[in-house]
Structure 1
Amino acid sequence: MITIPPSLVERPETPYVAVARHVSMSQLDEVIPQAIDEVAAWLTTQGIELIGAPLIRYRVIDMNNLLHVEIGWPLETPLEAPPQFIVDVLPAGTYGSATYRDVSEGVAGNAALLGWGNDTGVAWDYRAIDEGDVFASRVEFFLTGPEDDSDPTTWLTEVVIKVAERETT
């Protein structure tokens, strides 16, 4: 389960390229690797070296219905991309971070980070809308995967959620 306990970390602004998908929880296991491969293939054909860990950005979360996600790769600098791709930036700031082992522990890993934040008074940067919870930046980075070990119970994923900025008076 959790291999690196929750903590607050500062993260720099990070550009990325991704494909957008609206999926149910049950579709994630199939959609994530397909999308990662699609973006990696396009970057490779453009002569762009893959850097960092592939990612999934959760834009809107409704666990019982659809998740609005963006799945792709970080970039050194933003670039032009065809319309089927999204080029955006993960904002700089303070994030809650935790790393979990085993892809089947994704829900529990996210819940552990959210629970830790709630227990310690962290205010997440999000708002509720009819379609679900909208996060300023909630991302999973796939630190290891099938290229490292064929056993998905060994794969490491870091989940990060942006903390709301405090208002100053």
Structure 2
Amino acid sequence: MNIIEMPERHYVAVRRTITMTTFGLVADRLQEIFGWLAAKGVAMDGAPFFRFHVIDMAGELDVEAGIPVAVPVEPEGDFVAGTVPAGRYATVTRVGHPDRLLAVIEELRATPGLDFDMTDEADGEHWAARLEIYHTNPAEQPDMSKWEIELQFRLRDPA
């Protein structure tokens, strides 16, 4: 686990309210975003990611499937433009199937001294920025057990 300082980052995404069993409704849209950016001549500026806004593992999740871009882009249709806030992030990178991330997330969440930028509310955990970044291209490595995935969880600004 590392603590890193990250600048503000722009992205284009699809945002959905889903459950753990319907995650594909947002995840499967990444290829569509890639194609749209290519058609617009907009270059990616990093690896695709999932941004979790609200998490209730037993209920619903408010999630974006996004692709970083160097400059803000005017969205179309159900694509949204967003910004990941600058700040300090607790980060960990692992290689393995995405279904195996829960233990890594729990370990990161249990790290002493980390004050995550999130609040517990009636509908779940509300996060300022909680990202799963997928550094492996599935077209080049279809074996999901070999995917490199980075978690970045924003830490609360010091008082």
TM-score (normalised: structure 1): 0.88
Q: Specify the code of the residue in structure 2 equivalent to 1:15.
A: H
Rounded Cα–Cα distance in structure 2 between residues aligned with 1:64 and 1:14: 30
Task: Name the SS for the 1:153 alignment partner.
Answer: helix
Richer in helix (by share):
1
Rounded Cα–Cα distance in structure 2 between residues aligned with 1:33 and 1:133: 20
Range 52-61 or range 97-106, more displaced: 97-106
- Give the equivalent residue in structure 2 for 1:124: 116
Q: Which runs of 5+ in 1 are unaligned?
A: 1-5
Would you identify which runs of 4 or more consecutive aligned residues in structure 1 move more than 6 Å? none
Query: Percent identity over the alignment?
Result: 30
Rounded Cα–Cα distance in structure 1 between residues aligned with 2:156 and 2:3: 12
- Give the equivalent residue in structure 2 for 1:45: 39
Rounded Cα–Cα distance in structure 2 between residues aligned with 1:131 and 1:41: 34
Task: Name the SS for the 2:114 alignment partner.
Answer: coil
Query: Aligned-pair distance for 1:101?
Result: 1.6
- Give the equivalent residue in structure 2 for 1:3: none
Give the counterpart of 2:101 among 96, 99, 106. 106
Task: Name the SS for the 1:99 alignment partner.
Answer: strand
Query: Aligned-pair distance for 1:32?
Result: 4.7
Query: Aligned-pair distance for 1:112?
Result: 1.9
- Give the equivalent residue in structure 1 for 2:136: 144
Mapped contact 2:116–2:156 kept (Cα < 8 A) = yes
TM-score (normalised: structure 2): 0.93
Rounded Cα–Cα distance in structure 2 between residues aligned with 1:166 and 1:51: 29
Q: Deviations over 1:49-89 (max 9, x none)?
A: 23310011000000001110011100101011114111111
RMSD: 1.3
| Alignment of 1:14 onto 2:9 | yes
Query: Aligned-pair distance for 1:39?
Result: 1.1
- Give the equivalent residue in structure 1 for 2:70: 76
| Alignment of 1:96 onto 2:66 | no
Q: Specify the code of the residue in structure 2 equivalent to 1:132.
A: G
Q: Which runs of 5+ in 2 are unaligned?
A: none
Rounded Cα–Cα distance in structure 1 between residues aligned with 2:33 and 2:107: 30
> What number of residue pairs does the alignment pair up?
158
Task: Name the SS for the 2:35 alignment partner.
Answer: helix
